[in-house]
Structure formats: C-alpha cells, structure tokens
C-alpha cells in the first residue's frame, strides 16, 4: 500500500474512535501548558495533572516562579519523575521568562527551545497547542506507532518527524500528533498492544508480522527442556543465537538449525519481530 493511502486510512480510522484528539494535560494558559509539558518528560500526564493544581495556585505566573528557589518548588512536584532537576529548571525558567520575554511565553519553536529545560519536542508541543502553530512533535508513542503501522521507517526521533511532516499536510500535523499519541497510550501500547481490537489491524505492518508468527503449540513438556523445536520435534535448554535479515537476534535449534522454537512453559513462539523504542 502506498504511504499516502496508508496515511489517509490511518487518520480516518483513528478519527472514528478518538473523538477529542487533544492533550490530556490540564492547563488554562500558555504558561501552565509550558510548565505541565516540562513536568511530563518521562512521566505520565495523569501524574502531572495531580501536582499542577497546587503548583499553579502557589506559582500562578512567571513572575511568581521567578521569585522562588529550587527548594521552594520541589515539595510541589516531589511525586513526578526527576523532581530535583525539574525544580531547578522551573526556577530558572521564571527568571528567563521575566528578563527576556516580559513574563510572556515566546510563540516560536526556536525561542521556546532556548528556555531552560526545553527541548525540541517540548517547544513543538507548546507552539502547536498554545499558539496553533503547525507542528508534529514526536514522543515515544508517536515514534512507536508510526513505525509499527508503516507510516515511516525512521530510526531517530528527527527522522520520524521529518517523514511524518512530509507525509501529511500542515493542517493535519497537530491533530495527527494527538491521534498517534492517544492511540499509542491506550491501544498500541509498548507492551501487549491491543491488536485484536485495533481499528488499524487490517493495514498495520506490525500486525501483519504478528499474524505470520507460528501458532502456539499446546501440550509441551517443560521438564524436557526450556525450548521445543517444531521442525525436528526435539527439546533443548539453550539455543544458538543467530542474526536474521532484519538485524534481530533469533534463537535457532542446536539440533537442526531451525528458528521455529517455542517456549515450553507457554507454547508461544520464541521468534522475534522488529519493534520500535526511543
């Protein structure tokens, strides 16, 4: 399937099940969005939403944030990931916003990137969500989902971003970012993706590969070995590691060299297919 057709099918299908493709972070203005996005790095939106009400009550604007120390911010964000680093960056953020931007949030990706603790993804999210600037931020969900589906073949976040922006019109970038994030968060999960209930099951490259894996073998005997070869019907406790054409390490039978090994405790295949992490 041509990628342009796959792209259209993907967004049409996701729109049918995701009625509100927007950020799940809770905020009321660009300042609150910026702080929430920064706190969400390697942390869940749900966790961030638990701490921001008290944080924003105490520090409602850049001026309030510029008047405090790291130690004063830390108690409010203690339960998010990397609280010490994030508290230090938030204290610096208040000073920079007041001194260089008059207490306002800059509206370009380039200027937001210069703020303490801000990277390219954060800048694109804030520019897109707060100011409506076309952007296609790539986080771990977007990276995983777009590669799994087959929309892109990027090995880095930058490669995926470039390919997605080339594939979709600017008018769909921001919406597409949220569609892919929400699909990855609730359906196409990193562990145990819900392929059987996925609206993209018929056009997803990852699902097609999963369907080609050997079926589970029942009635195996773990006491005879950790692995069972479906070709020579022998048991073994160790396999010979080989690298397949996709660069993945597979286990091969020490008796016949077949890669059709199964875990004897579960009967599931030991074969691996390529997955995507960032």
Could you give the residue numbers annotated as active site? Answer: 121, 139
Which tokens hold the place of 167? 């594939």
| CA gap 84, 62 in Å, rounded | 19
SS3 at position 190: coil
Provide CB contacts within 8 A for 33, sequence distance 6+.
23, 25, 27, 126, 129, 130
Q: What is the DSSP string of 5-37?
A: HHHHHHHHHHHHH-S--S--S--SSHHHHHHHH
| CA gap 177, 212 in Å, rounded | 30
CB 138 within 8 A of CB 121: yes
User: C-alpha distances in angstroms, 214 versus 197, 221, 245, 262?
Assistant: 21, 18, 18, 9
Helix and strand numbers (H, E) in the chain are 12, 5
């Amino acid at each position: 399937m041509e990628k342009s057709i796959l792209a259209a099918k993907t967004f049409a299908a996701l729109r049918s099940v995701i009625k509100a493709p927007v950020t799940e972070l809770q905020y009321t203005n660009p300042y609150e969005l910026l702080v929430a996005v920064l706190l969400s790095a390697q942390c869940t939106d749900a966790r961030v939403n638990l701490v921001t009400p008290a944080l924003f009550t105490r520090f409602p604007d850049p001026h309030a944030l510029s008047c405090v120390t790291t130690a004063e911010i830390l108690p409010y964000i203690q339960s998010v990931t990397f609280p010490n680093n994030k508290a230090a960056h938030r204290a610096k953020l208040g000073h920079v916003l007041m001194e260089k931007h008059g207490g306002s949030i800059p509206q370009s990706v380039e200027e937001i990137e210069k703020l303490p603790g801000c990277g390219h993804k954060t800048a694109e999210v804030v520019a897109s969500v707060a100011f409506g600037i076309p952007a296609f931020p790539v986080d771990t969900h977007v990276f995983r989902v777009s590669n799994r589906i087959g929309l892109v073949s990027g090995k880095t976040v930058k490669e995926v971003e470039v390919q997605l922006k080339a594939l979709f019109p600017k008018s769909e970038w921001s919406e597409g970012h949220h569609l892919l994030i929400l699909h990855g968060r609730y359906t196409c999960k990193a562990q145990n993706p819900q392929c059987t209930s996925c609206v993209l099951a018929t056009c997803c490259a990852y699902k097609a590969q999963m369907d080609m894996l050997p079926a589970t073998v029942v009635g195996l005997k773990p006491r005879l070995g950790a692995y069972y070869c479906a070709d020579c019907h022998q048991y073994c406790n160790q396999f010979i590691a080989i690298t397949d054409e996709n660069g993945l390490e597979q286990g091969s039978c020490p008796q016949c060299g077949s890669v059709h090994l199964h875990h004897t405790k579960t009967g599931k295949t030991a074969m691996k297919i390529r997955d995507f992490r960032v």
